[in-house]
Amino acid sequence: MGQILGVHFELLAEAARGGMGSVYRGRDLRTNRMVAIKVLNLSNASDHVRFERECQVLARLHHPNVVGYVAHGASPEGTRFLVQEWVDGITLSTQIQTLGLTARDAIKVAIGVSDALGAAHALGAVHRDVKPANIILDAGDPDRVKLVDFGIARMEADAGVLTRAGILVGTPSYMAPEQARGLVAITPAADVWALGCVLYEAISGRKAFAGRSPEAILAKALLHEPARLDVLAPEVSVELADFVHSMIAKRVEDRAPDGGEVARVLRQLLPTVPAGPLRKANQLETQPTRIDPQPPASAGQRGARSFAMVSVPPLEPDAPPRAPLEIKRISERYKLAVHPLDDGSVILEANEPGDAGAANIAYAAIEIQTAEQFDGAVSVFGQAYEEPLDEAIDRGADTLANVTMASMFAEVVGADPIIPVDDVIAAMLEREGVTLITTDHGRALRVSRR
């Protein structure tokens, strides 16, 4: 290749490519050492701000478990680049998908990452995108870990900067509830959550929060409790499982406060962890999650819970959030819990179980769908008594994705929108006398445009 950046950094070969640019294997001509050169495609002002912040964080963050900073700059043509140490290794993502890890090695990896996070947190930086793909095992060694990609890192002092509704910042399966909700004040506890998800996956072979859509994953992060780690991996002690589950606690105050505390606890627990078997990702999930269109036999029992999933198109930065405020007002009238997500979707949950709760969800959904300024989509779904909540959420998210496309088509032809309901909800609504119609997509609530 031979292109020179910053006078003395030679591009040799492209190593990876992403939406923001490419990473090249290169050479520092001053030292003749191999380096990683990230060449960025920055399209707007916020991208430039994030790039400068990443460079500033890395320039200050000197730690053996953080990929080393070398330099950054811009070419005469304006191409921005970041130069870091070259690490010959394998990502944790590839490791757990191919060879797998033992529980003991997973703890070693987590200690290295938590040490790196502890150093970042001491500087006031929150990584915000801790995930297996951003963790490198140098030479494949779990004792030699490098945390990479501080591209969306944020200084705690920057709360409120570069925040825009409707744009997810992070990776859904590793996003803490406060990130999913789009809260401005993101603390080191969000990184603790993400590392807890990584550790859970590395030990058990399955994600703590998984789904076929971002909406489903984020809803599970807010509402669902994953299976106990010591059930999925019997070699894990109750004490270790308890600590990992505390890392993914819904409430910030229930987690360890930062990476340093996580490292301290994991070092204490490491001697008690046997090697155990090698587990690869998803090996426990040989079949896809079952989405059964028929209600479980217990669907009519009083313990059934009712939900609605609402998609709201992202607002422009300066647009007043009239539709979300209307959703909140309607939900309060029908006594529904509101769980807003930063991608523009909202989860509504009936506080009352059984038929009455289903009716409240249905009437609220109709009002939301016909509210002024609302141009999104709504699906209504239920969790039958003793049915796993994650299965119900997957069903609701799948239906929302289908009805979102149908609503776009209905808008073009001027047809009335539909609000699909699953069989769990349908059975309860019929007992409450709520009118349902049959469509090509199944049962639905009757909606008429104003």
349/337 Cα distance (integer angstroms): 5
Burial class of 184 by CB neighbour count within 10 A (0 to 12, 13 to 18, 19+): exposed
Burial class of 2 by CB neighbour count within 10 A (0 to 12, 13 to 18, 19+): exposed
CB 186 within 8 A of CB 154: yes
The secondary structure of 2-29, three-state, reads CCEECCCEEEEEEEEEECCEEEEEEEEC
Phi, psi of 126 (to 5 degrees): -115, 125
Sign of CA dihedral 260, 265, 270, 276: negative
188/192 Cα distance (integer angstroms): 7
178/19 Cα distance (integer angstroms): 25
Give Cα 442 to chain centroid, integer Å: 30
Q: Is 129 a catalytic residue?
A: yes
> Do the strands 436-439 and 442-445 form a parallel or antiparallel pair, or are they unpaired?
antiparallel
279-303 b/e (C-beta count within 10 Å ≥ 16 → b): bebeeeeeeeeeeeeebbeebbeee
CB 346 within 8 A of CB 340: yes
Q: Which of 170, 91, 86 is nearest to 132 (CA)?
A: 91
How wide is the angle at C-alpha 227 spanned by C-alphas 290 and 341, nearest 5°?
75
Helix (H, G, I), strand (E, B) or coil at 84: strand
For residue 117, what are its two tokens? 């996070």
Burial class of 264 by CB neighbour count within 10 A (0 to 12, 13 to 18, 19+): middle
Select which of 28, 105, 115, 129 is catalytic: 129
Residue type (1 letter), 197 = C
Bridge partners for 74 per DSSP: 80
- Helix H or strand E segment including 219: helix 214-223
DSSP string, 350-399: ESS-HHHHHHHHHHHHHHHHTSTT--SEEEEEEE-TT--HHHHHHHHHHH
Which residues touch 413 (CB under 8 Å, ≥6 apart)? none
Catalytic amino acids?
Answer: 129
